[in-house]
Amino acid sequence: MPDLDFLFHPQSIAIVGTPSDPTDMQGGAVFLHALVRSGYKGDIYPVNPKLSEILGLKSYPDLLSVPQGLDYVICCLPASLTPQLIRDCALNGVKAVSIYTAGFSEAGEEGGELEQELVSLARQGGIRLIGPNCMGIYCPTTGLSYHSGFSKDPGCVGLLCQSGGNSNTLTLMGGDRGIRFSKVISYGNAADLNETDFLEYLSQDDETRVIAAYIEGIKGGPRFLKALARAAEIKPVMILKGGRTQAGTRAATSHTGALASASERWDALCRQAGAIQVYTLEEMLDLVETALYMKPPNGRRVGVIGWGGGASVTNTDACENAGLSVLTFSSQLSQQLRRFTFGPGSSVNNPVDSAVLTSPSLLSETIRIVADSKEVDLLLIHMPLATPHMALDSEAETWKAAYNAIIETGRSLDIPIALVQPCSDTPESWEVFFSLHQRCVKAGLPLYSTGSQAAQAISRYVQYHIWKSREGA
Q: Are 99 and 129 in contact (CB under 8 A)?
A: yes
Interface stretch with a copy of itself, choices 58-66, 198-206, 400-408, 450-458 (CB under 8 A):
450-458
117 binds a copy of itself (CB under 8 A): no
Residues 57-96 close enough to bind a copy of itself by CB under 8 A: 78-79
Choose which of 116, 321, 330, 335 interacts with a copy of itself (CB under 8 A).
321
**Complex with a copy of itself: residue 385 or 401, whichever CB lies closer:** 385
**Complex with a copy of itself: residue 240 or 445, whichever CB lies closer:** 240
Q: CB atoms < 10 A from the CB of 22, how many?
A: 15
450 binds a copy of itself (CB under 8 A): yes
Choose which of 15, 159, 318, 440 interacts with a copy of itself (CB under 8 A).
318
Choose which of 14, 15, 30, 139 interacts with a copy of itself (CB under 8 A).
30
DSSP state of 311: H
Per-residue CA distances from 253 to 163, 247, 421 (Å):
12, 10, 39
Strands (DSSP E) found in 139-178: 157-161
| Torsion sign across C-alpha atoms 187, 189, 192, 197 | positive
* Burial bucket for residue 78 (CB in 10 Å: 0-12, 13-18, 19+): exposed
359 binds a copy of itself (CB under 8 A): no
**Complex with a copy of itself: residue 76 or 139, whichever CB lies closer:** 76
- Bridge partners of 10, per DSSP, are none
Query: Per-residue contact track with a copy of itself, 167 to 206, x per CB under 8 A?
Result: xxx--xx--xx-----------------------------
- Opening angle at CA 80, ends 77 and 83, nearest 5: 85
Residues 361-380 close enough to bind a copy of itself by CB under 8 A: none
**Complex with a copy of itself: residue 153 or 428, whichever CB lies closer:** 428
- Nearest distance from C-beta of residue 84 to a copy of itself, angstroms: 17
320 binds a copy of itself (CB under 8 A): yes
Q: CB atoms < 10 A from the CB of 362, how many?
A: 16
| Helical ranges in 239-359 per DSSP H | 246-256, 263-273, 281-293, 309-321, 331-338
103 binds a copy of itself (CB under 8 A): yes
Residues 248-267 close enough to bind a copy of itself by CB under 8 A: 248, 250-252, 254-256
